[in-house]
């Protein structure tokens, strides 16, 4: 299982701040996340950046049980 | 608040922030200048509502790692700066309260001013953080949101 962090509007759309999924790639796991959370989450995901272990990632990147995927919608800090 | 003994201090906290405390912390014997910047909650917004508070959220580990990266980049650009602190509030922050503090000391004022401006601009562009605007009877995510920028691209 790979841990997924859901932040800001992604957390709101998913209804949880973190979750776990099976899958070999970032893309597979995010596909499962859309299945689990639905259309609101899919809309937020479409405008979000994806990091793995704190660094920008591609959908084709391989992930394992010790990796952490973060879904980061557009930010508004400061 | 414990005074960290080192030169870099990044912190994401749900407790009130103090510019005075960071100014004192950043004051060093070899530095003749300390610049502090505070971001505060204002009552106006792009949505036209009368804002009463902001609600910030993030993942603290991710945000603090990115803050440390921003501080490291400031050090690579201004090699003379002394102590650097960046603290960001999370949770509910009321009107007039501080949302973010930057403090930079350096031997001379120009580096401290320039680095402080770089730090707050880069924090806003590069650090994962989300705010909801809260007004009487409602709330919404800030409409000022933008994509996260890589620290090196700033």
**CA B66, CA B99: separation in Å to the nearest integer?**
17
Q: In what order do the strands lie in the sheet with B91-94?
A: B91-94, B51-57, B130-135, B138-141
Out of A5, A9, A49, closest to residue B130 by CB: A9
For residue B1, what pLDDT is reported? 46
> Which of the four CATH numbers 3.40.50.620, 3.10.20.30, 4.10.520.10, 3.30.70.360 does domain A2-72 have?
3.10.20.30
Residue of B nearest to A78 (CA): B124
**CA B61, CA A35: separation in Å to the nearest integer?**
28
CATH code for position B120: 3.90.1170.40
The nearest CA of chain A is from the CA of B133 a distance in Å of: 11
For residue B152, what pLDDT is reported? 85
Which residue segment(s) compose the domain that B99 sits in?
14-138
Tokens standing for B57? 């959220």
pLDDT digits (tens, 9 = 90+) for B58-84: 999 999 999 999 999 999 999 999 999
Low-confidence ranges of chain B (pLDDT < 70): 1-5, 154
Those of residues 106-135 in B touching chain A at CB distance below 8 A are 120, 123-124, 127-131
**CA B142, CA B103: separation in Å to the nearest integer?**
26
pLDDT digits (tens, 9 = 90+) for A4-55: 999 999 999 999 999 999 999 999 999 999 999 999 999 999 999 999 999 9
Out of A49, A70, A75, closest to residue B130 by CB: A75
Residue of A nearest to B62 (CA): A54
For residue A9, what pLDDT is reported? 98
The residues spanned by each domain of chain A are 2-72
Helix axes B109-126, B60-77, angle to 10 degrees: 140
Question: β-strands B8-13, B84-89: how paired?
Answer: parallel
For residue B5, what pLDDT is reported? 56
């Amino acid at each position: 299982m790979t841990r997924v962090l859901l932040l800001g509007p992604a957390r709101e759309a998913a209804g949880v701040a973190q979750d776990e999924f099976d899958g070999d790639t970032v893309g597979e796991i995010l596909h499962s996340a859309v299945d689990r959370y639905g259309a609101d989450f899919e809309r937020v995901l479409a405008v979000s950046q994806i990091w793995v272990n704190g660094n920008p990632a591609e959908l084709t990147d391989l992930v394992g049980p010790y990796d952490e995927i973060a879904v980061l919608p557009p930010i508004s800090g400061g | 608040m414990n005074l960290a003994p080192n030169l870099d201090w990044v912190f994401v906290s749900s407790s009130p922030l103090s510019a005075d405390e960071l100014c004192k912390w950043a004051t060093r014997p070899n530095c003749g200048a300390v610049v502090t910047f505070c971001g505060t909650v204002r009552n106006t917004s792009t949505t036209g509502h009368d804002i009463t508070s902001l609600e910030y959220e993030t993942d603290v580990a991710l945000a603090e790692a990115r803050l440390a990266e921003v501080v490291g980049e400031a050090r690579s650009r201004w090699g003379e700066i002394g102590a650097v602190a960046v603290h960001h509030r999370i949770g509910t922050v009321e009107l007039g309260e501080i949302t973010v503090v930057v403090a930079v000391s350096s031997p001379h004022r120009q580096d401290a001013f320039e680095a402080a401006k770089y730090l707050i601009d880069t924090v806003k562009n590069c650090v994962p953080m989300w705010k909801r605007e809260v007004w009487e009877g409602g709330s919404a995510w800030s409409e000022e949101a933008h994509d996260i920028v890589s620290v090196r691209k700033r």
